[in-house]
Structure 1
Amino acid sequence: MMDERYAAAGLEALARYGELPGPLTADPHRWYTSLRDGAPVHPATLPDGRRVWVVTTADAAASVFTDRRFSNDPAHRAGVGVFDGHRHMGIADPPDHRRLRGVVARHFAAPQIARLRSRVTEVVDDLLSGVDGDVDLVADVAAVLPLRVMFGLFGVPDEEQDRYLAPLVAASNGDTGRLARVRDDLAELVERRAAEPGDDVLSTLVRARDVDGTLSDGEVTATVFLLLSAGHETVVSLVTVGVYTLLRHERQLKALREHPGLIPTAIEEILRFEPTASHSTGRYATQDVDLAGVTIPAGDLVLVNLAAVNRDPTLNEDPQRFDVTRESPRHHAFGRGRHLCLGAPLARLEAEIALTRLLATYRDIRPGAEGAAWRVEPGLRGLASFPVTVTR
């Protein structure tokens, strides 16, 4: 049962959907459960006043992810008419979606990502080499890992990466004053690859722009920003919230220390139990659509609440239990259908290696006295800081 303060916070959250009031920040799951138990689809209001429909069950989520009447393209938003921004694969429908995703897809295919195992291990071990005692797991490890890996995929040599890292980390932490510097840095990297092409992601994007004519300049820029931002936030959250969750479930942590081979399954259980995003990317109804008995008007926004859906009892038995030995945890943390996350294999690999090396390097990891601070940005489910004490 929810106490009155928690229930009131839930009503406030629906009135400003995407933001979590204080009582819900660290543990919104009782509220998500009450939403899912109440109905598959809920009307809510975004902080900017727009109506949104929140999906909370696995069946309704599957419909949103696979029904072509729900579009990722913001041009279908009511009152917009024409979308004049630059699209990336995340906000495009076929055939543009296939075109935009297809350019870089080979770089993120599972066999290609598997070849990065030694490189990712090298990056993690380098980050951990100077970490001991009291540290912030977010700032000192997780925030840097995905950026170093992605810059490697961009063809940036190790010795040049540091100059790009600080502005990117600051911008990802909300320092909008660094965005101009980040844009300039990325534009410079793109043009360097145009002058000195290789077999990396940026070179592939440049060839698609300059040789094949597949992409516009704006689409190249939008794709680069998408790869950096989505890859960064996902891995930071998966690693840090994963450790946070394990420290709150000591038997599960003990099981991983005794049986490291369980770590890939544990990553799936972490994704199920605490997905890295509170809700999916938005879909717009292209026409009036009946969804689980509710009529979604054309042009309205639909968001799948991933945390509620992932604990739907139709997906997994005893879904409120965190269990790293759970056989084949089922979840929608990376979406489903044609917009299944392109970077999912890379995120899984980075998280698996980070968790493996953390447990192998430190015989003890304890929460710091200050406690973890949850991020409050709409749509994200992650930690702004996570002080821990580690002992080798």
Structure 2
Amino acid sequence: MTPERAVIVGASHAGAQLAANLRKEGWSGDIVLIGDECALPYQRPPLSKAYLASTAELRDLAIRGAEFYDKQRIKLVGETVTAIDRAARAVSLGSGDVMEYTKLALCTGARARPLPVPGAHLAGIHYLRTASDVEAIRSAAVPGRTVVIVGGGYIGLEAAASLRALDMDVTVLEAAGRVLERVTAPVVSAFFDRIHRDRGVDVRTTALVEAFRGDERVREVVLANGETLPADLVIVGVGITPNTELAIAAGLDVDDGVVIDDRALTNDPDIVAAGDCVNHRVARYDRRVRLECVSAATEQAKVAAATICGRASAICALPWFWSDQYDLKLQIAGLNTGYDEVLLSGDPERDRDFTCYYLRDGELVAADCVNRPREFMTAKRTIAQRLPVDRDDLIGKVV
């Protein structure tokens, strides 16, 4: 009799977590974790932080050591999956081999969104999504050289902080009116803008890139206003695109990500999905969203493993995020979409620690905490449990 086999496509954080949890949940059959990178599954958040700043090596980022996968009988396969045959319950590999599955998990993650402008093909233009991306950037990150970072979101600002630590000349170009515009209130954007300027970063907002110029390598960035900026190195960080091509070709429901229910199930009862590639309804906010964070990937993977093993479980944790820039740790609890009021604890114009609370109809829905871990934990609990809040109490918090 052929043993049961769980095949996980994508050796991402979600994929590695799902594989580990399958054993915890009692899956006794084969577990195959397929990834197209040569390294052990690793943490991606440190790529733009410690790894780019050369204060950590790839082995430090490994989610688990090789001995763990051996002990848990998790087979790691360095391959690319090219197709899913749902009727035959099998996946096709780039090598031409076909692998049957009893249960399938899609943890295919996402890829960096390209910037479609003339000259985007030039050498010296990099994206920051994988370890090999960062290794290419590090090899060119020579003190005194000029780097232009396109995008003033988390990745762009984290890269700016890491490269300033390497004594590079850094310019950040943000197309919107302020950095972090999509995820934070204006007061938080203003704080991080000032912090980076104080560290010598040239931050430019409403800056649209029209083209890159150079012979074989990029030499300058052309802005829509006609200005040109010299560049020895360019990093593009303008968002990510979920890897859903396999799911679409297989006939799975996809809507800005593979659509899953609270059990991490797709519209195929034998296929679950987790991580940056999925779109899921967040119960706390009653809205569908694709969350790009480790905390969501971890919980979705745990629930997916339980579902595969026939155990009742549901995705319910509050989304949270973090960003490290210089000596600052920004921790974000919840989603601030639709807030109608902002309250501050601390003075972001004077201090290097404060909390920005987001309320809607008097209810706390999110919080941005800078170097205030205790307030972050309290905010997470308050938001998740929908506890009542007192405005005076929030403003008066001192940590």
Q: If the length of structure 1 is used for normalisation, what is the TM-score?
A: 0.25
Question: Based on CA coordinates, which of the two structures has the bigger radius of gyration?
Answer: 2
Q: Could you say which structure has the greater relative contact order, defined with CA pairs below 8 angstroms and 6 or more residues apart?
A: 1
Larger relative helix fraction: 1
Larger relative strand fraction: 2
